[in-house]
Amino acid sequence: MNQTPQPLRSVVEQARIDATIIEIFQDLVSFNRVLGLEILSVRAGDVRARFAMRPELVGHYAHGRLHGGVISAVLDSMAGVALLAAVAERHPRDGPAELALRFTRMGTVDLRVDFLRQGKGEHFTATAEVTRLGGRIGSAQMRLHDASGTLIATGAASYVVA
Amino acid sequence: MNQTPQPLRSVVEQARIDATIIEIFQDLVSFNRVLGLEILSVRAGDVRARFAMRPELVGHYAHGRLHGGVISAVLDSMAGVALLAAVAERHPRDGPAELALRFTRMGTVDLRVDFLRQGKGEHFTATAEVTRLGGRIGSAQMRLHDASGTLIATGAASYVVA
Amino acid sequence: MNQTPQPLRSVVEQARIDATIIEIFQDLVSFNRVLGLEILSVRAGDVRARFAMRPELVGHYAHGRLHGGVISAVLDSMAGVALLAAVAERHPRDGPAELALRFTRMGTVDLRVDFLRQGKGEHFTATAEVTRLGGRIGSAQMRLHDASGTLIATGAASYVVA
Amino acid sequence: MNQTPQPLRSVVEQARIDATIIEIFQDLVSFNRVLGLEILSVRAGDVRARFAMRPELVGHYAHGRLHGGVISAVLDSMAGVALLAAVAERHPRDGPAELALRFTRMGTVDLRVDFLRQGKGEHFTATAEVTRLGGRIGSAQMRLHDASGTLIATGAASYVVA
């Protein structure tokens, strides 16, 4: 992102915006509650979340590993978190309500996920990086690591943004 | 698929194989139970499943539409169903146990999903078509329609096969 | 495409629009001249082109097969042809100049290509189908067949449209 | 890559292997000569190439920017370079002939490209990183920058490897 940040928000206002982003993805998106996604950071350059392994997230019953759909869902959500955070940065006068409205106009256009290694272990960490924020389209790259730091999956997503 | 089928299985044996494929994806893959995926047909050229909308499958709380991760998970599974059915056709002497073993050696390499329209309505139908079944790699194209027959999403997946 | 067509153009006007689409992709896009892409039809439901094998389009020198980049370039262009034709259908009062202007505002957002079989033989046929034409985003699915009718590659693309 | 390197090659042998990889992609793959791809480094962690803008590589005639097909072709090739270099590292006893033979058994399974910004300027730099090297499948992530260091495109590819 070459975009110059416009840090017009006070620390308190930014904290409110961050809390709004987390609330949207962690609490209001029902399916993310199924996944148990816990968002740890929404700062540009450090968008990060984690979730714990649970029996209902298993795919291959023979291996006890994460279902590919769980990985896809998490990486899709992470792209959304990173892009909403970038949208918030681009509109520094937006309050929580305006940002929530922008979110309702966002949506995933398409998603690619590469499943590199088996998703095993007690918990997983997902990160996302915005590679483009245009007026109509946003793009992000996502990564999922297991508890030992091994790269489990990578992803790329295109979103419509507002 | 240009491959010549080898219909060495009796009708009864084929029914057992079909039941095995359905059991693997519908019952043994835990996450597919979360999705409520019901497989309707595993015959080549007509691989088809359905699932009902439920509150926990919602993504955009503001719209009440399917979470993208649910769509990704369903399309990923459908590619697996179609490819396992094609693998079963290629190995006509395999019984249920041999086929289940082959399944444990299969896995999604990567997945693309295009989210075309909002996933709304009471239930959804997913289909998959095998576009290549090689010795090491299988490919499939997937589609998701809503109850009115509108195309909601398309997908493409590469799998390792055994 | 559920969109209702608005056939306000006369046969002559439509022929001029078709010729404009062909000219843009076949003659004005320099790289398509390198590929030797010949567009055969730009009608909705039958967007089709062909190109001949030539020594400079070879990838794997050991196999004498089409370079993957050639396949990607052709399928990307075919998505553009299909989407520009759909845009022309949506704006039935546009003449060639207006349509050419719309084309300058279009662009590929992202592309997926599945390389299914070796691209061998004297010529190849490419087709494309529009799966969504929204106000900001268009999506297409593409296919490449060899001279014997074998499916060589499939593709999916997202475009910004205007 | 968690794989432990086995540096059994002498500096001279490694230089011969590097030269083989460069020769394969730069000279023997005909289409890469069309692109004018010049490979600068094939060392793990620093796989890098460049190419100059030329009139026949232009897509959008109205903008004078790189054709998407050129970007796809370059990123596809870069994934191949990175994976062949990783294969060479995994088989330290292979000489140039054995490595060339392995290359003939490699092939792109599928490719995704995200076109982030217009490809303008006099030359471009492409890089690739191996994210998985399995026994049957290799995965890579690719990036294209323009002369000013701006990120133009990203890519992901799956390959069969031998």
pLDDT per position as a tens digit, C97-154: 999 999 989 999 999 999 999 999 999 999 999 999 999 999 999 999 999 999 999 9
Give the model's pLDDT for residue C3.
54
Q: Which residues on D lie below 8 Å from B137 (Cβ)? A: 109, 136-137, 160
Question: What is the rounded average pLDDT of the residues D62-72?
Answer: 85
How far does B45 lie from chain C, in Å, by closest CA?
16
Give the model's pLDDT for residue A110.
98
Query: Which segments in chain B show pLDDT lower than 50?
Result: 1-2
State phi, psi for B77 to the nearest 5 degrees. -60, -40
Question: What is the rounded average pLDDT of the residues A142-160?
Answer: 98
Which residues neighbour D64 within 8 Å (Cβ) at sequence distance 6 or greater?
D58, D120
A110 touches chain C (CB under 8 A): yes
Across the C:D interface, residue pairs with CB atoms under 8 Å apart total 120
Which residues neighbour D12 within 8 Å (Cβ) at sequence distance 6 or greater?
none
Residue C8 has pLDDT above 90, yes or no: no
Touching partners of D (3+ C-beta pairs < 8 Å): A, B, C
Give the model's pLDDT for residue D5.
52
Give the model's pLDDT for residue B62.
65
Test A69 with B56 for CB contact under 8 angstroms.
no
Q: How far is CA C133 from CA C89, C111, C113, C129, C140, in A?
A: 11, 16, 20, 11, 9
What ipTM was assigned to the predicted interfaces of this complex? Answer: 0.90
* Percent share of chain C, pLDDT over 90: 75
Alpha carbons D72 and C75: distance in angstroms, whole number = 11
Report how far apart the first and last C-alpha atoms of chain A are (Å, whole number). 17
Q: ∠ at Cα D25 (C111, C51), nearest 5°?
A: 50
How far does C77 lie from chain B, in Å, by closest CA?
18
pLDDT band for position A45 (cuts 50, 70, 90): confident
Question: Do D107 and C60 meet the contact criterion of CB atoms below 8 Å apart?
Answer: yes
Question: Do A77 and B74 meet the contact criterion of CB atoms below 8 Å apart?
Answer: no
Q: Which residues on C lie below 8 Å from D59 (Cβ)? A: 29-31
Test B67 with A30 for CB contact under 8 angstroms.
yes
Q: Which residues on B lie below 8 Å from C151 (Cβ)? A: 131
Give the model's pLDDT for residue B41.
96
Q: How far is CA C88 from CA C5, C10, C17, C24, in A?
A: 10, 13, 8, 13
Strands C151-160 and C137-146, sheet pairing? antiparallel
Residue C23 has pLDDT above 90, yes or no: yes
Strands B151-160 and C38-43, sheet pairing? unpaired
Touching partners of C (3+ C-beta pairs < 8 Å): A, B, D
Residue D4 has pLDDT above 60, yes or no: no
**Which residue reads 């990923």 in tokens?**
B76
How far does C112 lie from chain A, in Å, by closest CA?
9
How far does A138 lie from chain C, in Å, by closest CA?
10
Q: What pLDDT digit, counting tens, does each position of A17-26 carry?
A: 999 999 999 8
How far does D23 lie from chain C, in Å, by closest CA?
12
Residue of B nearest to D107 (CA): B137
Q: What pLDDT digit, counting tens, does each position of D114-161 carry?
A: 999 999 999 999 999 999 999 999 999 999 999 999 999 999 999 999
Q: How many residues are recorded in chain B? A: 162
Chain B contacts in chain C segment 56-85 (CB below 8 A): none
D54 touches chain C (CB under 8 A): no
- D149 phi-psi bin (left φ>0, alpha ψ -120 to 50, beta other): left
* Percent share of chain A, pLDDT over 70: 93
pLDDT band for position A1 (cuts 50, 70, 90): very low
Looking at per-residue pLDDT, the higher value among B7 and A131 belongs to A131
Nearest-CB residue to B112 (from D109, D112, D137): D112
Alpha carbons D20 and D5: distance in angstroms, whole number = 19
The DSSP 8-state label assigned to residue B91 in this structure reads -
Nearest-CB residue to B114 (from C117, C150, C156): C156
pLDDT band for position D1 (cuts 50, 70, 90): very low
D107 touches chain B (CB under 8 A): no
Residue C4 has pLDDT above 80, yes or no: no
Q: pTM of whole model > 0.95?
A: no
Give the model's pLDDT for residue C45.
86
Which H or E run contains B110?
Answer: strand B107-115
Nearest to C157 by CA among C94, C91, C71, C90: C71
Mutate to test the interface with C, among D81, D115, D159, D160 (most CBs of C within 10 A): D115
Test B131 with C114 for CB contact under 8 angstroms.
yes
Question: What is the rounded average pLDDT of the residues A30-45?
Answer: 88
Touching partners of B (3+ C-beta pairs < 8 Å): A, C, D
How far does B33 lie from chain C, in Å, by closest CA?
29
**Residue A20 is encoded by which pair of tokens?**
């709004």
Give the model's pLDDT for residue D61.
66
> A109: exposed, middle or buried (C-beta count within 10 Å: 0-12, 13-18, 19+)?
buried
Question: What is the longest distance spanned by two Cα atoms in chain A?
Answer: 53
Q: Which residues on B lie below 8 Å from D156 (Cβ)? A: 110
Give the SS3 label for residue A57.
Answer: helix
Q: Which residues on A lie below 8 Å from B114 (Cβ)? A: 109-110
Nearest to A59 by CA among A3, A120, A110: A120
Residue C47 has pLDDT above 80, yes or no: yes
**Residue D61 is encoded by which pair of tokens?**
């005639």
pLDDT band for position D67 (cuts 50, 70, 90): confident
